Structure 1
Amino acid sequence: MSGVVIMLSGPPALGVRLALGALRSPLRRPRPGVRFAGAGDRLVLPGLRVDVDRLAAYERVCGFPTGEDSLPLTYPHVLGFPLAMRIMSGRGFPLPLLGLVHTSIDITRHTALAASGTYELTVFVDRLAPHRRGTEAVVVTELRDGGALVWESTSTYLSRHRTEPAPGDPEPGSAPAAPDPCPLPVLDEWRLAADVGRRYGAASGDRNPIHLHPLTARLFGFPRAIAHGMWTVARCLAAHGTPQAVRIHAEFRAPVLLPGTVAFAADGARFELRGTGGAARVHVSGRVDPLPGGRPR
C-alpha cells in the first residue's frame, strides 16, 4: 500500500463536495500528461453502517428486491461516492468535476453482504491515464468486513480535452464502427418516467443537475434530463440477476434521456440497455461472470 491514509469520522457531505467541485471546475485546464500528486492517497471510513430507509428507496428505484438483509451488488458504489467526490473536488485534483463522464465500472463481490453489517470503506484515485479523447481518472472503492476485502470496484471517469493523436488512432471524421451483427435478444422494454433521475438522486445523494430537470440539463447541453449511469447498470443487473460471488464489467456508452423507452437485452453473461426501433443506440453494455470460490480475501 502506498500513499497517505486519511481516517474519516463520517461520510463527507456529498452536496457540499459537488458544489465545491462545480465552483472549482472553471479553474482547471486539463492537458495531455497531467498528473495528480494525491494518486494513491486513501480515504478510509471505518464503522460504516447502512441507512436502511435510504437502502430501501434505492432498491425500489433500481428494481432490486426490498426487505432482505442483503446489499445489492451496486450499492457499495453509492456508499463510496461521497468519498470519491471529496477527492475529486479537492484543491489538488487537476480535472474539472463538471463534464467528468463515468465511462466504465468493474465490480467484484467476493461474498454476500449483509445490510445489517458494519464495514470499512476505502476510496482512492489509483492513477490518471491518457485516453484518446482526454484523460481518465481511475477510482478504486473497497469494502471490508472484519479486515477481509468483500467488495471492490474500479471506475473510470473521462475528462475530455485536446490530445495528440497516437499511432493507429482513427482519422477525425472516419466512419464509426459497424454495429454488432448478432445483437442480444430483447427480453423487456421499460418506459422510464421523467422523475427517475430525481428519485435515484434522492436515494443515492447524487443530485447532479443534469439528472434532475430539463431546464438544468439544458445548461449542460442535454435536451432533457438524463438517467444516472449507475442507475442504468443497477436496473440492468436487477433484471439480469447475479450470483453472490460475481465479477461484472459495464461500459456507459450513451446517455438515456428522460422520459423515454429503452430495451433490456441479455444472453447468458452479456447484457445491454439500448434504445428502441431500427437503429437502436446502445446505452450500456456489460457482462456478468461468476467468481470461482467466492471467499473474501
Structure 2
Amino acid sequence: MSGDATTRTLDGPPGAASLYPRAVAGTYALPLLRGVPLIGPGQAKGLPDLAFALQDVALDGGHVADYARVCGFSLRDAVPPTYLHVLAFPLQMRLMTDSSFPFGVLGLVHVENRIEVVRPVAVGEAVSFRVHAEDLRDHPRGKQFDMVSLATVDGERVWEGRSTYLRRGGGTGGGGAKEDRPEPPAAEAIWKVPADIGRRYGAVSGDRNPIHLHNLSAKVFGMPCAIAHGMWLKARALAALESELPEAFVVDVRFKLPVLLPATVGFSTRAADGGRAFALHDAKKGLPHLEGAWSSGIRVA
C-alpha cells in the first residue's frame, strides 16, 4: 500500500447488519459456492490504495466481559489479546465490500492470522484503528492478500493484526501431491464445542457470516452444516494458555479444516522457541483444525 493512500475516517463502526447484505449484493454468491470463483466488480484491478479508520474507540467493559466469557478468558483489567480484532473487523468488512475491492467477500477463506500485542490494552482506554489491504500474491489455488489492522493509543502502536485471505480459482498450480497427514499429538484437553457457538460468538463479535450461524444458512453457502469461527478457535486456544502469556508477544495461527458444529476437539501444546506451539484437531478422526504458536519477540516499529 502506497504512502499516499486515501484514508477514510468513519464517524462510527460500520454495522454488521448492513455489511453482510452488502457483501451478498456485491458478489455472485451461488455460482461461487458451486465451485466457481467469487468475483467482485473490481476484478481487473489490484488491491485499492484505500484505508478505513476509526478514532478513539472507547473500550466498553461490558462488551469485553461478554467476549471473554464466550471465548473462555478470565476477566482482567487488560482486554484479551484477540479482542481488538473484533473491533477492527467491521473496518475490514467495509474495505472488502467497497466497490474498488477486487474480490467478493463471500467465499474468501481466512487461512492465517497473526497478532502482535505490543503492550496490554486496558479496559476504558480509547483506541484508534486503521485497516488496509496489502501484498496481493499468487497461490497454487488462487490469490492471497493480507488485511492489516493497526491499533494505536494516543499515537502509540499497541496492537496489530494481519489476516491472510485466500481467494480460490485461477491459481498457479504446483501445489504438489497431497501430503500425508501426521498422527495428531496427544490431546492435553478435550473440548466440547456446542452447536450454538457460532451464534454466540457472532453476537459478541459482530461476525455474522451465515456459514457460522445455522445449518440451513450454512448449506446455502456450500457448507454441510454450521462451522465455528476461526477467530473463536484462536481465542479459545489462547484462553487456555492465558496464564503463561507475557505482556508483549506475537501469535500466529494457520486455519486447517473447519470445525463442523457441534464438535469434540483435542487441544495440545508443546514447547517452542521463545514460547509455545499449540494445535486443535478432531478428537475422533484426528483431522487438523488449527496450528499455531506464540513467541515473546515483537516488532517494535
- The TM-score with structure 2 as length reference comes to 0.89
Match of 1:290 in 2: 296
Q: Alpha-carbon deviations, 1:230-289, whole Å to 9, x = none?
A: 000100011022211000110011100111100111112110010013x41110100010
Mapped contact 2:51–2:95 kept (Cα < 8 A): no
1:165 Cα deviation after fit: 2.8
Q: Map of 1:158-173 to 2, 5 A cutoff?
A: 158-166=166-174, 169-170=175-176
Residue type of the partner of 1:5?
A: T
Match of 2:230 in 1: 229
Q: Map of 1:1-297 to 2, 5 A cutoff?
A: 1-26=3-28, 29=39, 34-39=44-49, 41-66=50-75, 68-166=76-174, 169-170=175-176, 174=177, 176-180=178-182, 183-241=184-242, 242-268=245-271, 269-277=276-284, 279-291=285-297, 297=301
1:164 Cα deviation after fit: 3.8
Identify unmatched segments of 5+ residues in structure 1.
Answer: none
Residue type of the partner of 2:95?
A: I
Task: Give SS of 1:76's match.
Answer: helix
Identify unmatched segments of 5+ residues in structure 2.
Answer: 30-37
Residue type of the partner of 1:126?
A: E
Distance in 1, matches of 2:47 and 2:282, equals 41
Distance in 2, matches of 1:43 and 1:107, equals 19
CA-based RMSD of the aligned residues comes to 2.0
Mapped contact 2:142–2:172 kept (Cα < 8 A): no
Distance in 1, matches of 2:164 and 2:44, equals 16
Task: Give SS of 2:28's match.
Answer: helix
Aligned pair count reads 284
- The TM-score with structure 1 as length reference comes to 0.90
Distance in 2, matches of 1:57 and 1:119, equals 19
Residue type of the partner of 2:100?
A: G
1:63 Cα deviation after fit: 0.2
Mapped contact 2:249–2:295 kept (Cα < 8 A): yes
Task: Give SS of 1:234's match.
Answer: helix
Q: What is the percent sequence identity of the aligned residues? A: 36
